[in-house]
A and B are shown apart, each in its own frame.
Chain A
Amino acid sequence: MSSVFRILLRRLAISVIVLIGVSMLIFAIARIIPGDPARIALGPNANADQIASLRTEMHLDEPIIAQYGYFVADVMRGNLGQSLYTNRPVTVDIAEFLPATLELVIFAGILMVGLGLPLGILAARHRGRWPDHLVRVGTLLTVSAPSFVWAVILMLLFAFYLPLFPVAGRLTDSYEIARVTGFLTVDTLLAGNFSAFVDALHHLVLPSIALALSGIGQAARLTRANMIETYDKPYIEMAQAFGFYPTRIARRYAFKPSLIPSLTIIGLDFAAMLGNAFLVEAVFAWPGLSRYGVAVILRKDLNAIMGTVLVIALTFLVVNILVDLLIAFLNPRIRHSTRASS
């Protein structure tokens, strides 16, 4: 059996266990916090009979174990239940709000990798000289504040005092774009509306930078440290002795070995952006999963809470599995460690 496949199987098994654990935990917590979901859903004018019948319908009078059983049975059928807040299936709600969040997180991830890694390489190549000092001071600044602080700062600077970017939202209202994927940068292109595409990108800039800044700093610092360690390895000296250009040595011989240890942490940072996105979305009024998540928690909308948490946990796990596979792909030691088994 190929070792990459073995890694995939093991990670999938662990993920299922994690998902079960998370679902139990959130299921219990959501029911322990005070407030009667049926009463909240029906509003102040509902009478006792109506509340009682909704409670029965939601199995709220049964033991919590039995409730969990109903929940699991529903999930198996792809049914996350009705949201009491929107009166729609939770799956429909999530399908509506998740793409906006994912679009933001993916753009921030691209910024993190696309800026963080090159900055780290630059600093390592010019260790002890001004590009290195600049990168080190700059990245220290970016990692020292959380993303929602950056969101507020960026918004004040570049949307308020210097109105270069929009303050809120994903798209200027005047554009009508048919929804296909829910990713506006994709849907606008599918609709062939290039100016709407530019508008969507324009809206993405500030929130994704705010979300990415600390990740960029982390990635750059990590890459720098690992590259510097790699530069002391004999195979780098060998590459120099064979006359390869310094740029080639940096990009090819030093970068790849030093990327492997960085990647796990960069992957975790990326997954963590999913959580940070909630706060950034709040600052920029980004119509993503966070707005929905906060609203349903305040209303004790049990099904919607469970659905939101499960989807986030699932995304987290998928990202982690992808990172593990990427590492296995980059690291021949893992890819070829078939000797022990097979």
Chain B
Amino acid sequence: MTHLLDIRDLHLAFKGLSGLTEVLHGIDLSIAAGERVALVGESGSGKSVTARIVLGLLQEMRNARVTGRVAFDGADVMTMAQKDRAALRGTEMSMIFQDPTSSLNPTFTIGNQFAEVMRRRDPKLDQAACDARATEMLTEVSIPDPGRVLANYPFQLSGGMNQRVMIAMALVNNPKLLLADEPGTALDVSVQAQTLRLMHDLVEKHHTAVLFISHNLGVVREFADRVYVIYRGRIVETGPTDAIFHSPGHAYTRALMDAVPRITGAGLPAVPEVSDDFLAPMVRHDGGAS
């Protein structure tokens, strides 16, 4: 089986005042095209840094020392020129972040930011073409009135709306790989569940591979085909999601599962955004001065 992403024996250390601090101790991880893979572990276990290495961001940091093999779509991310790595970002792979509202630039409109991202793929796109395509994407993430949203600034939208905008933005260039670093943990649980379901449907439809990072096994269960459990910079367990849930092998995985909050995944039933009875008041006041 050929992998879209293949990580072998990945080591990472940070140079600090007290010498080298090892953070990743030989990670092996692979994702096939269109596969949804979760990377689960507690805070500080090395999930975000792994995603940043895949994007090629840490390789450019002066105090980070990265060794190992990271192959993406047949090319070696570790040895390629900085410029070629940058060319992959935003086009072949993209990322969504934990806090949607602060991850969008506060001084540009959503439409503006969409256009910038689309021009990463095709610099000659004009604003009208960008707006048309952005509208299409926003409709796919069930945003009502996309035209208005494109003209808005992030602070004018709710956190859940920004989350969908970010998902739409990350997928607009049809990347082969989506890195999702604890998407929406800054949001309300039910909003988070709703957007995750949406993201699930979208990546399935577009056949996008996902590396889904989370510290919550419950969220992962609904989303991922396969799970990697990371503990202090080492992969301690891996396997199909169901297998891991039915018979967790490693003591750490069992501990993680016990820590799962009971409100998981399906928090709210899916309600259409606008329906007539949705807007009808439940309580009527009779006789009062109106």
Q: Which residues of A contact B (CB under 8 A)?
A: 233-235, 237-245, 253, 256-257, 260, 330-333, 336
Whole-angstrom distance between the alpha carbons of A238 and B156 in the complex? 19
- Show 18 A/B contacts (Cβ-Cβ < 8 Å), sorted by A: A237-B97, A238-B95, A238-B105, A240-B89, A242-B116, A242-B117, A243-B86, A243-B89, A243-B91, A243-B120, A244-B90, A244-B120, A253-B105, A257-B106, A257-B107, A260-B107, A333-B106, A336-B153
Interface string of B55-72 (1 = CB under 8 A from A): 101000000000000000
- 6 other contacts beyond A238-B104, A242-B116, A256-B108, with CB at 8 A cut-off? A235-B104, A238-B95, A243-B88, A257-B106, A332-B153, A336-B156
Contacts of B156 in A (CB 8 A): 336
**B103-A238 in contact (CB<8A):** yes
The SS class assigned to the A binding surface is helix
Whole-angstrom distance between the alpha carbons of A330 and B105 in the complex? 13
| Cβ-closest 5 pairs across A and B | A243-B89, A242-B90, A243-B90, A241-B95, A234-B103
Contact of B90 among A241, A253, A256, A260 (CB under 8 A): A241
Contacts of A332 in B (CB 8 A): 106-107, 109, 153, 155
Size of the B side of the interface (Cβ < 8 Å), in residues, is 28
Contact of B57 among A241, A256, A331, A336 (CB under 8 A): A241
Name which residue of chain A comes closest to B102, CB basis: A234
User: Shortest CB–CB separation between residue B181 and chain A, in angstroms?
Assistant: 9
Contacts of B95 in A (CB 8 A): 238, 241-242
Contacts of A235 in B (CB 8 A): 102-106
Task: Find the residue from A241, A260, A336 having the highest chain B CB count within 10 A.
Answer: A241
Contacts of B104 in A (CB 8 A): 235, 238
Contacts of A239 in B (CB 8 A): 105
Given contacts A253-B105, A257-B107, contact A241 B153 (CB under 8 A): no
Contacts of B55 in A (CB 8 A): 241
Name which residue of chain B comes closest to A331, CB basis: B107
Contact of B89 among A241, A257, A331, A333 (CB under 8 A): A241
